[in-house]
Amino acid sequence: MECKNDGAGETAVSQYSITPSPQHSNLKPGKRRLFRPTSVGMLTAGVTAMVGFAAFNTGNNLIYLLTSLLFSSLVVSVVVGWRSLRGLELSRTVPREIFAGEDATVSLKITNTRRRANAYVVAVLDGAASTRDRLTGRAVAARIEPGAVTRLSYTVTPPRRGEYLFGEAFLKSGYPFGLCTALRRFDLPDRMIVYPRIGRLSKELIRMGRSWGSDKIARSSKRLGSDEFYGIREYRPGDNPKHIHWRTSARLSKLILKEFERDEPLGYTLVLDSFADPGAPADSEAFEMAVSLTATLIDELAQHGARVFLIAALREETLIYNGDRSRISAHVLRELALIEPAQEEDKKRLRATLAEHAGASAHITAVVLDRHSPLHECLGPARSHGVHIDVIDVTDPRVIRGFDPKGRTIGVVE
C-alpha cells in the first residue's frame, strides 16, 4: 500500500474493501490494552519457555543467548506496540443519506499529535448496525508522520433501508513483529439513513394501474408550458430545453427555466400497506418490496408533474406531501426509510386520514401486502366518496415480474 501527501501535512490513503472486524467492547474509551498476544505471539512465547527450560537444564550459553533473543522480541513487541498508539486521535465522517444496495464511503481521519515519533501499521476497525443488519469495515495506514493527518476510507453496502448507527471504533497496531496487538477504543456516535431502493417499472406493470400509468398523466405533463406563465427557476437535468429563458441565462451565467401554471393540477395519493407481521419472513419481505415499490411510484408520478401525497402509518403523521414536481423528495424518502410495520391502533388514524383526504385526491393507488390486508377495510371511507382506487398487490406474480427493485440511481430534492 502506498500513501501520498496531499499538502498541509495531510496524507491520503487509498480505499479498502469491507472486511469483518472483531469488537472489543470491554475496553474503556481511550484505554490501551498493553498485551494482547496473537497466535504467532503465543507460539513464540511457548517456544521461548521451552528453549529457556532447555538452557536451564544444559547450561549452554548459546541456548541462553537464543532464549534472550526470543524473550526480547516479545518485550519489544509489547512496548513498541503500546507506544505506537500514543498521541493518535481518530475521527469519522459518514454519508448521511444513501440508497439501499449502493456503495457508501466512510471517511476516517487519524491525527498524530506527537512531535517526533512516527506511527507504523495502524489499522482502524469500525462498523455500524441497524435493527437487522451489521456493517463492518477496516482500513490501514502504513505510516503516520509526526504532526501529520492521514485520511483513510472504506466502503460499505447496506443491504436494506433503515437507520444505521455508528458507535465505537478501534485503533489497532501489531507493530513491529506482530507478536501482540495494542488496541485503543474511541466512542464516535453517528448515524446514516439508508433510503429504500428506487426500482424500475415494466410497461406491463404501468398498464395495470390506470391512475399512475394513464395517458392522462402524460398529456398533463406535455401541457406544462402551454398555460399561463408562472415564474422562472434554475434548470435541472430532465427539464424541457425548449423552456430555457436564454436572456436571463446569459445574464446570470447559468441555465434558467421558464415555468407555467397548469389549469387543474392533478392530485395523486399513494397508500402504503404497513400491516405486516415482523415475525413472519414472508410478510417482512413483502413489506420491504411494498416500501420500495411505493418510493418508485412516487418518483415516477413526480417526474410526470403530478402532485403526490403519501398516506401510511408513519412515525408521527399519516399524510405527507412530496413537495416537488420533478422527483421524489428527501423528506418522503426519510419517512419511508424509517417506517416500521403498523400496529392495530394505527387503523383508526389511517381511516380518518383517508376520509379527510379522499375529496382532495383525483386518484388513489394502494400498495397492499396481500388480498386479506387490513388496509382494504381502511379504504372504505375513500370508496364512499366515489374516488377511484387502484390496488397493487405485491404478491401478485405480475407485480413481481414487472418490478425490478435493484433499479436506478436518482437525484434527491431536499
22-77 per-position pLDDT tens digit: 444 454 554 444 457 788 888 888 988 998 888 888 888 888 899 888 888 888 88
Domain with CATH 2.60.40.10 in the chain: 3-192
Note the pLDDT of residue 128.
93
Amino acid identity, position 50: M
Which residues pair with residue 122 across a beta bridge? 141, 173
If you ran DSSP here, which 8-state letter would residue 16 be given? B
Nine-digit cell at 355? 376520509
What is the pLDDT confidence band of residue 247, given thresholds at 50, 70 and 90? confident
396 φ, ψ (degrees, to nearest 5): -65, 125
Q: pLDDT tens digit string along 149-161? A: 999 999 999 999 9
Per CATH, the number for 3-192 is: 2.60.40.10
**Has residue 104 got a pLDDT over 80?**
yes
Name the residue among 368, 409, 358 with its Cα closest to residue 391.
Answer: 368
CA distances from 82 to 44, 126, 182, 254 (A): 19, 20, 6, 56
pLDDT at residue 255, as a whole number = 87
Fold of 200-224+266-404: Rossmann fold (3.40.50)
Name every residue whose Cβ is closer than 8 Å to that of residue 252 and which is 6 or more positions away in sequence.
Answer: none
Residues 69 and 71: their CA atoms lie apart, in Å, by 6
* Cα–Cα dist 172/150, whole Å: 15
Q: Where in the chain is the domain with CATH 3.40.50?
A: 200-224+266-404
**Over 190-237, what HEC string results?**
EEEEEECCCCEECHHHHHHCHHHHCHHHHHHHHCCCCCCEEEEEECCC
User: pTM of this prediction?
Assistant: 0.74
Give the pLDDT score at 261: 55
**Burial class of 347 by CB neighbour count within 10 A (0 to 12, 13 to 18, 19+):** middle
Q: State how far the Cα of 219 lies from the Cα of 224, in Å rounded to an integer.
A: 9
